[in-house]
């Protein structure tokens, strides 16, 4: 079973600008991080028009995300989230499942529980991690096998960083592939636990 993670980041390592919220999901200035794909309402048809995102969605059978990612992305997803798979939202406020147009959101209390459930539901496909918080937890916990960063040539200066000292001591990265896009460089890394 493979666990994959994918995230757009600025050249200075931020995956959102300052103060992300449901009204401004990417924070102040962070919208530039998603400028490489057309993302008015992020439905599956629109996202799968991009080869990189299509490949990512096609190989993923279930996903884990944090509560912030879930709450902040609602406006971008609209009534039809692009996933069409089970999603496990890590939150300290579990609630009843939510089903929306082929995507079922389950709310669970820990990353470990969410990953185990997603692994079961993914069958022979990969478990995907969505959002910086879930990806960081996956890296620190040694779950991530492959990390794809969509490097966008902007400097945000402030915001939420993907890499911190906990990740630096938990994982090693080896470049597995590089693809240039319009306004973005996609770098895929194989991930190994440190030590």
Whole-number pLDDT of residue 119: 96
Q: Take residue 168 and report the two structure tokens written for it.
A: 């630096």
- Share of the chain residues as helix, strand and coil, in percent rounded to the nearest 5: 25, 35, 40
Q: How far apart are CA 162 and CA 65, in angstroms?
A: 14
Q: Take residue 57 and report the two structure tokens written for it.
A: 């969605």
Whole-number pLDDT of residue 77: 76
Q: How far apart are CA 27 and CA 133, in angstroms?
A: 15
All residues at 6 or more sequence positions from 45 whose CB lies less than 8 Å from its CB, including other chains? none
**Residue of 57 and 189 predicted with greater confidence:** 189
3-26 confidence digits (pLDDT tens)? 999 999 999 999 999 998 888 888
Whole-number pLDDT of residue 195: 67
**Residue of 74 and 112 predicted with greater confidence:** 112
Whole-number pLDDT of residue 165: 85
- Sign for the CA dihedral angle at 132, 138, 140, 146 comes to negative
* pTM for the whole structure: 0.90
Whole-number pLDDT of residue 23: 86
Asked whether the predicted pLDDT for residue 96 surpasses 80, the reply is: yes
- Average model confidence (pLDDT) across the chain: 89
What is the average pLDDT across 32-51? Answer: 67
Asked whether the predicted pLDDT for residue 112 surpasses 60, the reply is: yes
Per-residue burial over 8-39, b = 16 or more CB atoms within 10 Å of its CB, e = otherwise: bbbeebbbbbeebeeebbbbebbebbbebbeb
Asked whether the predicted pLDDT for residue 50 surpasses 80, the reply is: no
Contact indicator for 83, 70 with CB cutoff of 8 Å: no
Closest CA to 147 of 158, 156, 136: 136
Q: For residue 123, name the pLDDT band (cuts at 50, 70, 90).
A: very high
Whole-number pLDDT of residue 76: 73
User: Which residue do the tokens 């969605």 mark?
Assistant: 57
**Residue of 74 and 195 predicted with greater confidence:** 74
């Amino acid at each position: 079973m493979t666990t994959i993670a994918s995230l757009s980041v600025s050249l200075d390592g931020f995956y959102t600008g300052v103060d992300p919220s449901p009204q401004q999901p990417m924070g102040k200035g962070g919208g530039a991080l998603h400028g490489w794909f057309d993302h008015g309402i992020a439905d599956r048809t629109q996202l799968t028009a991009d080869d990189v995102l299509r490949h990512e969605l096609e190989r993923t059978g279930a996903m884990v995300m944090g509560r912030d990612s879930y709450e902040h992305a609602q406006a971008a997803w609209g009534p039809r989230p692009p996933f069409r798979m089970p999603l496990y939202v890590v939150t300290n406020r579990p609630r009843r499942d939510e089903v929306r147009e082929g995507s079922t959101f389950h709310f669970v209390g820990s990353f470990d529980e969410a990953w185990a459930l997603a692994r079961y539901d993914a069958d022979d496909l990969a478990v995907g991690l969505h959002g910086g918080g879930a990806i960081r937890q996956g890296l620190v916990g040694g779950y991530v096998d492959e990390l794809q960063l969509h490097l966008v040539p902007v400097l945000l200066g402030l915001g939420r960083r993907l890499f911190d000292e906990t990740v630096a001591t938990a994982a090693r990265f080896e470049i597995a592939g590089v693809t240039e896009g319009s306004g973005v460089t996609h770098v895929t890394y194989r991930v190994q636990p440190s030590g």
